[in-house]
Each structure stands twice: as structure tokens, then as C-alpha cells.
Amino acid sequence: MSTGTREIPLARPLLDEREEELVLEVLRSGRLSLGPTIERFEELIAERIGAPFAAAVSSGTAGLHLLARIAGLGPGDEAITSPLSFVSSANCFMFEGAAPVFVDVDRRTLNIDPDALEAAITERTKAVIAVDMFGFPCELDEIRAICERRGLVLIEDAAEALGAEYKGRPVGSHGVSGVFGFYPNKQLATGEGGIVFTHSEEEWHLLKSLRNQGRDYRGGSWFHHVRLGFNYRWTDVQAAIGIGQLEKLDEILELRSAAAARYDELLAGIDGVETPLADDGEHTRSWFVYVVLLEHGVDRARVAAELGDQGIECGEYLPCIHLQPYMRERFGFAEGLCPVAEDASRRTLALPFFPQLERDDQERVASALASAISS
């Protein structure tokens, strides 16, 4: 129940007249799918992230699935990913019949620990899905070296990390194939959608065929299908929103960083709250969510409920994948498999976070959090 103060949502996209104008142009053009606006968006985002090829798809999940399909994953194979991620990081290869192997995360970065990854490789392992969790880049070079040495396919789940940089270059530009997502809470929001970035022209052609029911990527007859494909097409209406969002991406990223810096400052003196890991010389986070870790012993559900009572939306972001009911049932996973990830996931709390978030609302969040923790 709200006390009557203004509600502060968890997330909200930054959209304005520019997106309206671009959407209207597409509506008036009558080209709602497979049109030029998608191609324009693909060119613009590829240039922005420093990847030679980009293929837009209906969601981040769809993009990951296509990469798992192209990797040739199937029954009898294992793929390794992080337990502290969204379910798509594992579902993408389970759709193809491969089994998930979860390895623990690094306590500081909350991303996959390369040593744990190497130790989990078996003769069945075929791929690794490395996640840039909460927009913080994973240890891509170390992970890639392991994958090259052990003959594994590497896919980067960068759904949360558009705008992040690893070793001074954008995520997406490092030669590995991966995905960004455009759900409304993401840095670039189009409602639904995702982009697969790749450094292989051949893979790009395959992606364009697979997303479009297996049609020849060069076009041709509508009812000519050269392979088994999916309908993972995006629409030109979404691409129009995407172009508007790309035009203001720098502004969005700056506003998000500024909001994160204000939270860092406001929460610094509050006992029981650990703020997110700061950037270092090699990792520059793209601020997707602002997730704090509550100290052991703090009752997270009660804190979240108290904030909720004051109109402040927050999220238990997010449970470990291996402990989801369908994973437990199918593979018998239980607590204790990935202790670091499990401990973090029990203590994470996502605070309201979006580009337009203002300081006075952040002050409200900080003082509500402090009083909820101390009470």
C-alpha cells in the first residue's frame, strides 16, 4: 500500500517526440516488416559497437537461440554458463537439447569465474555462454583463451551490456558473437527485440536466414525455404524506435551513469548496504540496473516490502537459474551447487533506476532503505 507519495518505478524507458516521428514515418511507409528501417538500424548499431555485422531479431532470447543453433549444439552436449543470470542464458541451448552446466561466479564481479569454468569442462562440453551481468563486462579474454584451447564455441550474452567497454573497446567489438536485448528496462528500449553481433559474414547470412523461416538470406521466392528456420523477425516499427534510441544512446548512458554515481554517494554511509563494483582499467560498466547487496542477516523481503509501502518499486534481481523449479525438476539441481552466486542472489536488491531518475527521488530511496535496514 502506498502512503500517497509519488510512486518511483523500477525502470522506465526514455522516449520522446523523435521516436514518435520515426515510428510515424514507418507507419506511413507501409513497410512494417522486412523493410529498410531494420537494415538501417543494423548498420547503425554495428557501427556503434564496432562489429562488422549485426542481425536484428525479435528478442535477446531469440538471438541467443540462433547462436546456439549455429554452434550445432544438440542432445548429448553440455554448455556452460553462469547461474547468476536470466534464464535465457541457459534456455538458449536447452532449446536445442543440450544440457546446462553452471559454474560459480566471482564474488566481486558477479560474472563467471574463469578458473571454475575451466574446471567444469568435460569431453561433452561444446560451448560457453559468457554473461556480462548487470552490464559489467565478463573476463572475455581469459574465457576466450580457454575456449580456444579446449575447442569450445563462445557466445557472449551481452543482453544487459550495450555501451559497456572491455579493455577500452566496446562490448561487441571483440571478435566474439553475442547478443544485446531491447526489452523496455534495457539501455536501448524498443519494447521487444534484440541484435546479434557477429564478426563472420557467413554466420550473418545464416542468422538472416534462420530468423526468417529458413528463407534464402538473399531473398527470392517467399515460399522457398533452404533450411529449417524460425520466425524470429523484428519489425520496422521497433527498428524506428531503435533508431531514435540509438541517436540518444550517449545521453541515455550518461544519465544512467550520473544516476548510479548519485546512488553511490547517497548510499555510501548506510550500514548494511554494499554498492555495485566500481569500474577499473579493464571493465567499464554500462549501467543497466542499480543492484545493491544487503548485508547477511538483513531481511530482504521485509526491506523490499517497506520500500514498496512507500511507493518505491524494487526487485529481488535475480534468483539463480539452477534453482528455478523447472531446473530442479529436470536436472536435480539444489542449493550448494554455486555457493557464491547463491549467496549473492539471496542478497541482491535492484533499486529504481532509469535515465530520468532525479536526485530527490534517489534521496527518498536512500533514506527509505536506511530506515528499513535499521528497523
Ligand X SMILES: Cc1ncc(COP(=O)(O)O)c(C=O)c1O
> Which one-letter DSSP state was computed for residue 293?
E
**Distance of closest approach, residue 311 Cβ to ligand X, in angstroms:** 25
Asked whether the CA dihedral 326, 89, 98, 127 is positive or negative, the reply is negative
Decide: 26 and 35 in contact? Cβ < 8 Å.
yes
DSSP 82: -
Distance CA 68, CA 208 (A): 15
Q: Which is nearer to ligand X, 89 or 284 (CB)?
A: 89
For ligand X, the closer of residues 131 and 239 by Cβ is: 131
Residue at shortest CB range from ligand X: 60
Contact (CB, 8 A) for 249 and 187: yes
Q: What are phi and psi for residue 360, nearest 5 degrees?
A: -65, -35
Q: Measure the CA–CA gap between 357 and 239, rounded to whole angstroms.
A: 25
Q: Report in angstroms how near the CB of residue 91 gets to ligand X at its nearest.
A: 9
86 vs 204, which CB is nearer to ligand X?
A: 86
Cis before 162 (ω within 30): no
Amino acid present at 304: A
Cβ 327 vs Cβ 91: under 8 Å: no
Closest contact distance (angstroms) between CB of 237 and ligand X is 16
Helix (H), strand (E) at residue 116: helix 114-119
Is residue 65 a contact partner of residue 95, using CB atoms and an 8 Å limit? yes
Active site residues: 186
CB of 180 vs ligand X, minimal distance in Å:
9
Cell of 297: 542477516
Q: Residue 48 Cβ, how far from ligand X at the closest point, in Å?
A: 18
For ligand X, the closer of residues 160 and 306 by Cβ is: 160
Q: Which is nearer to ligand X, 291 or 293 (CB)?
A: 291
Q: Quickly count helices (H) and strands (E) in the chain.
A: 13, 13
Question: Hey, is 126 helix, strand or coil?
Answer: strand
Angle at 178 between CA 44 and CA 39, to 5 degrees: 30
User: Which residues are near ligand X by CB under 6 A?
Assistant: 59-61, 85-86, 88-89, 131, 157, 159-160, 181, 183, 194
Q: How far is the CB of 60 from ligand X (least distance, A)?
A: 3
Q: Provide CB contacts within 8 A for 86, sequence distance 6+.
A: 159, 318, 321
Of the pair 88, 310, the CB lying nearest ligand X is at 88
The CA distance from 79 to 100, in Å, is 5
Pick 85 or 284: Cβ nearer ligand X: 85
Q: Shortest Cβ distance from residue 115 to ligand X (Å)?
A: 22
